[in-house]
Structure formats: structure tokens, C-alpha cells
Amino acid sequence: MSNDAKTRAHEAAAPATGSGTHGKSTINDVARLAGVSKKTVSRVINDSPLVRPDTRQKILSLMQEMGYAPDPQARGLAFRRSFLIGLVFDNPTAQYIVNLQYGALDALRDSGFELVVHPCDSKSEGYIEGIKRFAQQQKLYGVILIPRVSEDQALADALKEIGCRYVRIASVPMDEPANMVLTHDRQAGAEAANYLESLGHRRVALITGPKRYRSSIERGGGFTEALAKRGIELPPERVYEGGYTFESGVAGAEALLTRHPRPTAIFACNDEMAAGVYKAALRMGLSIPGDLSVVGYDDSPLASQLWPALTTLRLPVRDLGRQAAAMLLAENWPRAAQAQAGISVSPHLVVRDSCQPPQA
Amino acid sequence: MSNDAKTRAHEAAAPATGSGTHGKSTINDVARLAGVSKKTVSRVINDSPLVRPDTRQKILSLMQEMGYAPDPQARGLAFRRSFLIGLVFDNPTAQYIVNLQYGALDALRDSGFELVVHPCDSKSEGYIEGIKRFAQQQKLYGVILIPRVSEDQALADALKEIGCRYVRIASVPMDEPANMVLTHDRQAGAEAANYLESLGHRRVALITGPKRYRSSIERGGGFTEALAKRGIELPPERVYEGGYTFESGVAGAEALLTRHPRPTAIFACNDEMAAGVYKAALRMGLSIPGDLSVVGYDDSPLASQLWPALTTLRLPVRDLGRQAAAMLLAENWPRAAQAQAGISVSPHLVVRDSCQPPQA
DNA sequence: CTGAAAGCGCTTACAG
DNA sequence: CTGAAAGCGCTTACAG
């Protein structure tokens, strides 16, 4: 992944030992010591081609030597744009947020950009105004939108209106390619279905997330679709709408497992709900995978900590974050971003110990 | 908690509808429309007392009306200091990081300050240099240090040297009160011991975190101490040094539970390790709390999702974050911060279903 | 209580 | 390829 950093100077090492004056040198100091105008130094900072190679080299090593790094605030003021990337999210799991941050920071490392976190409540009145103000006031360079806010077209429109770059992480294309990182939830849901079918399961059940989450619709839809393609029906009484929470997983499993005949496998649309299924099964005296096979989604730390370890769909969240941030930094947005958008980030099945063929 | 915001203007609402000119008004526009100099507007922005009340009021409502908010970059450039707070952490759990962020953001809301995240690797060579550069380059207003980096005196010294405000979250005082938010781990460890003793347990075991974590030493130490005070000995063979990870909890429990006689209770120094104890017990056919009582630490979401629900010490992480950020913003640092430092954030026992008196 | 001047550290036109 | 002037939107001395 090419690092389209705006400037090389940001990679400046610590002030060279012994350089003296408190490491607070400015562009003027560099210019004076190099015997050029500050405009020339500025050109070097901004990787302009309009500098003679030897001049550039001389200035570059001088900056290195002095431990000079341009002041982001001064640059921002002149550019009318900051070097901050906003991370906007509603209420995903802690693990999701943190992994996304790590990924985004991977891409921002040594670029001179920093990551500013901005949680919000998409159900509150005027939350879009809040984000707009955040973007405008800080003159954000760009914004990364995480589900569920990424799915809000009104938010995207607001951002576009004020001219703020953004990238939406979502399960289906709902914007220009340059503004999207896709998570392919439908395909992953199908993988879960195919896996269970291949083990021999015919009476399977589904615990979805809330309908207002596009991911939930895609995961559940892909699952149902793939099942149908293999000739397996999923009647409404074997589908439970959960809330992506542990408790809803418990409730869903309790509802589904009291049906007769009992399903032999459950696909929960996230790991938290799958953990809820474990609890319900344990309480009902059902063994996993003996009496019940379970598949989750996310591959959160939880998945490997459950016993038996949970078979689940791994969502490479850190990669999503890295990808989104890299697209935002792309030199010639949106052209370059679009090219990068081709790099796909897909979930895949991680087989552990929570599934086996159904008992005869 | 008083919000010592530097300025009122940050709370400016969205541009009043119909105000026209794209909401990009500057201090000059305000000054012109108010018929005063920009210096006077500046005084209002910065809550200077040197403005006639009616003048101030007039300017304030004008700003509100225009949807004016001062540009943080321009202010920062003039102030030689940004309005950014850095959150520096090594590798705590995702839940800890996120809760701390939420807490810090609670305190920063409507203050004009933003939160910049900065993970690091305290085991890597020159990591302190990296943080120093981050603080210096961004001219951070202040930094919040989370364990384990908060325990590194060299880091604190480096920050002090460059004149960067910081607050350390840690289990014991190791700096000026104005620089500390205490988590009182020792006292909480004692609470765990007293609780188990009161239930009648005499053969108890302990799974600590890594020795290099001060929290681990305090939690374990408080536990051991309180036990001793009540006449219960904790021999070395009933103490296992874990790594604050799930896997180490499994390993620890496996080691401790094969001793004869078997301990009737285990205190794990965090919930992840407690979850590991659950797994080991389940595999060994031991029931919780029938055969074994378990106490964790953190009250992470995990705690209530385990079955039976885990009795644990609740660490109010969000409060820690709020407290730390509020101290950083205190008007007259370090005096005011010190006053706030009095507000204590203490863990307390949350009793759920994982403990009972030992079987006869 | 109020203001005119100079400056924070950079960049954008505009010339050459 | 290089530079002198003006400006980004604020604040700090310094006067009054």
C-alpha cells in the first residue's frame, strides 16, 4: 500500500543531538541556513517538482540534521485545511472500534496526519449537524464512517455538501467507489450456509441483527439465499431478529431451541449473539457441537475464548481501517482512491470446534 | 465537574439559518458587524474580564447569530499550543481503551478540544522519542497516559522536560497529585479477599498479572495482605503469575486446580483470566460456583456474559477518562487540577453468581 | 475597558 | 527553477 504522504518532512527524526536551540526551528531557520528563500523550502516540504534535485537534497538533509518538522497548525492555516482525519462511529463493539483505529493509524503513520475520534448517537436529533460542525470547525482533511452511521445517506450528503472527503465502510456499494470500503457481508453469510449444509445440516436457524443495519440484512440474506440454492428452506419460525447483543442471542436461542423439531444448527449474525446461544444451550443442557452447531460472525476475541471455540466469519477490521485511511490520503482524490478501492477486503470462515454433522 | 473550557464561543450552534455567507465568518467579520476591534472580540472569545458586560453580551449574541466559531488552527498558531489532547496507550483491552475514550470525550464535549489517539509499543526501542515527537509536533495541550505506559517514569520525565501537561492513570501515587488519577487497586484486591473469606473460603488461590504491571502487584498484594490479616496464608504454590490474557488464565487454573488439596476459590486479577478459569474448570468437570468460586477484576462486558455471571471488581474506566481529561483542562494548572484530583475513583465489588461458600 | 501594530509559521498567487 | 509580497485567522505585547 503506497503511502501517499503529503510531505516527506514529517518523517523527520528527532532533533539531531547537539543541534541546540530547543528543536523549535522554523522554515525561516532552514531557509537561512540553506541560503534559499523560504518558498523553496516550502516546495521541498510539499514535494513540488519545481526544485533542482541537488537543492532539494541539500535542504532535505539540513532539515533532517536540524530535526526540523513543519508546524501542522501553520500549514493547516495556510492550506485552509487541517491534517486531521476524523473517525466517526455510533456504537459498534469495543473491539471493532479499536481494531479500526489501529488500522487507520497504520496508514497514517509517518504521514503527518493524526486520528481524531468522534463517537455520536445516530438516533439523537441533529446528530448530523454535530458531525458537520466537527468537520467544518476542525477543517478535517477527511472522515472515516463506520457502520451504522456509514449507512446514513443524509450524513454522506451533508459531508459532500461541505466539501469534506469521506470514506464509508459498509456491506454494499451505496456511493462512488472512491467513497466506499466494502465488507461483503452477503458473500460471507453464504459461506456460513454452505459450510453448515456441507456438514449435513438441514434444519438450521438464523439469529439476525436489527433490520436497520444493512450488515444484518446482508448476512442474513446471503445465508438464506445460499441455503435456498441448495434446496434448504428457512421458515420464519426458524428466524429470530436479535439486536447484535449478547442478551438478544440468549433470547433468540431460547426461542429457537424450544421449537419442535429442534434446529441442529444456528447461525448468529455476530459473535456476541453466538456467545448468547452458548449460554442458552448450556442452560438447556444441550452440548455444542454435539446437540447443536453454532456459527458466529466477526471473529472477535470472544470467539476463541468460548468453549468449545467458536467457528466464525473473520472480518479483517484492521484492514478495513487501513484501507479507508489510505484512500483518504490518496494524492489525487478521488481518482487514486478509486484505484485503491479495488483492493477488496473479504471475510472468510474460520473453522474451530463449534460445528459437526448433526446427530442421527 | 466544572467545565473549565477556555472559551464559550466553541459552544456556538450551527450557523443560523439564512445567515448566508457559507458559515465561514472570521473574527474580522464579527468585529466589523459589532463595531469593535477584533481584539475586543478576541477578549470575549477568551473570557477575558476586560470587556464591558453589555459589549460582551452584544458580541456573544452576534457570534451566535452568525454561527461564528473561532478557528482552532489560527488560535493554536497564535497560542503556540494546539487544542488537542493526546491519548497514549500501550496495549490494554479494547473495552478499556474505548471506555477511557468515551470518558475523556465526556469531559471535552463543547470545550473546543479534540481527542487524538496514539497507541505505542512500550517495549520498542525509542518509543519515548516517538511520543515526545508526537507531543511536540502537534503542540499538544495535554496527554493522558494509560497503564502500562503511565507507569513509566522516563516517559513522564520526558513530557515534563518538553513542558507538556500530562495525567497518569495508575494504581499508586508516583507523581504530583495534579498529574495522577488513582485507581486504588490495592484496596480492591483486599475487597476480593474479604469477600471470599466472609463466604468461608480458606484455601484460596491467586492468578496475578505480569509483574511489570504495577496494577498486578497492587491487586495481588492487597489480596494477599487482607487474607493474611484474617489469618489466611497464601503459599507460593497457590499463586500463579499470568499475563492478563485469557490463555494465561486457562494455564493458571489448570496448574492451580491440580494441586492437592484443591483450592475452593480463585481470584483472577482481570476478567479475561477469570474467563480462562471458567474454561479450565469446564474442561475439568468442575462446576462454578459449586466446586469453585471465582472472582475477576474490571467488570468488562465479558463478566456478565459468562455463565454463571462473574463476580468481579468494577473499575469505572469511563470515570477515569473523564477525570483525567477534566484535570488537563483545569484553568490554572496545576493548582485546579490538584483540587480535582481529590475526587476519587474507586473500584467496588459487583456480586453476581460465581461465588458461594465452599462445599463441606 | 479598548485598540493599532506586529507576529505565530506556513502557503498562495504573482513575477521573473 | 527561484523569490518577494501578501495573507490564512487568531493572539501577544504595548499604548492609551
Q: Residue A31 domain-assigned?
A: yes
Cis, peptide link before residue A261, omega less than 30° from 0 = yes
Q: Residue A153 domain-assigned?
A: yes
Q: Provide CB contacts within 8 A for A67, sequence distance 6+.
A: A12, A13, A14, A15, A16, A19, A23, A25
Q: Residue B336 domain-assigned?
A: no
- Other CB atoms closer than 10 Å to residue B208's CB: what's the count? 28
By DSSP bridging, strand B265-268 and strand B293-298 are parallel
Do B177 and B193 lie in one domain? The reply is no
**Which residues pair with residue B349 across a beta bridge?**
B313
Do B287 and B167 lie in one domain? The reply is no
Q: Residue A339 domain-assigned?
A: no
Question: Under a CB-based contact definition with an 8 Å cutoff, are residues B265 and B358 in contact?
Answer: yes
pLDDT tier at B13 (50, 70, 90 boundaries)? very low
- How much is the average pLDDT of B104-108? 97
Q: Residue B4 domain-assigned?
A: no
Do A130 and A158 lie in one domain? The reply is yes
In this complex, the nucleotide whose C1' atom is nearest to the CA atom of residue A71 is C9
Report how far residue A13's alpha carbon sits from residue A61's, in angstroms, rounded to the nearest whole number: 11
- State CA A286 to chain mean position distance: 36
pLDDT (tens digit per residue) in B128-160: 999 999 999 999 999 999 999 999 999 999 999
Measured over the CA atoms of residue B304, residue B306, residue B312 and residue B315, the dihedral's sign is negative
Residue A8, pLDDT score? 46
Determine whether A141 is exposed, middle or buried from the number of CB atoms within 10 Å of its CB (0-12, 13-18, 19+). Answer: buried
- How much is the average pLDDT of B305-326? 95
Q: Residue B348 domain-assigned?
A: no
Minimal CA separation from B359 to chain A, in Å:
22
Contact B72 A138 (CB under 8 A): yes
Q: Provide CB contacts within 8 A for A32, sequence distance 6+.
A: none
Q: Chain A contact for B17, CB < 8 A? A: no
Determine whether B186 is exposed, middle or buried from the number of CB atoms within 10 Å of its CB (0-12, 13-18, 19+). Answer: buried
Nearest to B100 by CA among B159, B139, B160, B147: B147
Q: Provide CB contacts within 8 A for B30, sequence distance 6+.
A: B38, B41, B59, B62, B63, B66, B68
Q: Which of A46, A70, A94 is the last residue of a domain?
A: A70
pLDDT tier at B170 (50, 70, 90 boundaries)? very high
Residue A18, pLDDT score? 36
Do A92 and A38 lie in one domain? The reply is no
- How much is the average pLDDT of A133-156? 96
Q: Chain B contact for A307, CB < 8 A? A: yes
Range with the largest mean pLDDT of A62-66, B207-211, B345-349: B207-211
In this structure, what are the phi and psi dihedrals at residue B180, rounded to the nearest 5 degrees? -125, 140
pLDDT tier at B24 (50, 70, 90 boundaries)? confident
Q: Which of A116, A282, A305 sits opposite B307 (nearest CB)?
A: A282
> What order do you get walking across the sheet with A142-145 strand by strand?
A180-182, A165-170, A142-145, A84-89, A114-119, B114-119, B84-89, B142-145, B166-170, B180-182
Residue B311, pLDDT score? 98
Q: Residue B342 domain-assigned?
A: no
Contact B279 A129 (CB under 8 A): no
Question: Under a CB-based contact definition with an 8 Å cutoff, are residues A306 and A278 in contact?
Answer: yes
DSSP B258-326: TSSSPPSEEEESSHHHHHHHHHHHHHHT--TTTT-EEEEEE--HHHHHSSSPPEEEE--HHHHHHHHHH
Q: How far is CA A288 from CA A200, A294, B97, B220, in A?
A: 16, 8, 33, 35
**Which residues pair with residue A293 across a beta bridge?**
A265
Residue B4, pLDDT score? 39
- Other CB atoms closer than 10 Å to residue B177's CB: what's the count? 16
Cis, peptide link before residue A308, omega less than 30° from 0 = yes
Q: Residue A60 domain-assigned?
A: yes
For residue B275, pLDDT beyond 90: yes
Do A53 and A143 lie in one domain? The reply is no
pLDDT tier at B15 (50, 70, 90 boundaries)? very low
Residues 264-283 of A with CB under 8 A from B: 272, 275-276, 278-279, 282-283
Do B136 and B210 lie in one domain? The reply is no
Do B280 and B224 lie in one domain? The reply is yes
Domain residues for the domain of B29 are 9-70
Do A33 and A85 lie in one domain? The reply is no
Minimal CA separation from B94 to chain A, in Å:
5
Question: Under a CB-based contact definition with an 8 Å cutoff, are residues A315 and A345 in contact?
Answer: no
For residue B10, pLDDT beyond 60: no
pLDDT tier at A336 (50, 70, 90 boundaries)? low
- How much is the average pLDDT of A37-42? 90
Residues 284-303 of B with CB under 8 A from A: 301-302
Could you give the number of structural domains in chain A? 3
Cis, peptide link before residue A334, omega less than 30° from 0 = yes
DSSP B163-202: T--EEEEESS--S-GGGEEE--HHHHHHHHHHHHHHHT--
Do A156 and A202 lie in one domain? The reply is no
DSSP B95-149: HHHHHHHHHHHHHHTTTT-EEEEEE--TTSTTHHHHHHHHHHHTT-SEEEE-TTG
pLDDT tier at B228 (50, 70, 90 boundaries)? very high
More confident residue, A186 or A16: A186
Identify the closest residue of chain B to A275 by CA–CA distance: B305
Q: How far is CA A21 from CA A25, A73, A205, B8, in A?
A: 7, 21, 69, 36
pLDDT (tens digit per residue) in A237-279: 999 999 999 999 999 999 999 999 999 999 999 999 999 999 9
The reply to whether the CB atom of residue B335 sits less than 7 A from any atom in nucleic acid chain D is no
For residue B12, pLDDT beyond 50: no
Q: What is the CATH number of the domain that holds A118?
A: 3.40.50.2300
Cell of A244: 447484535
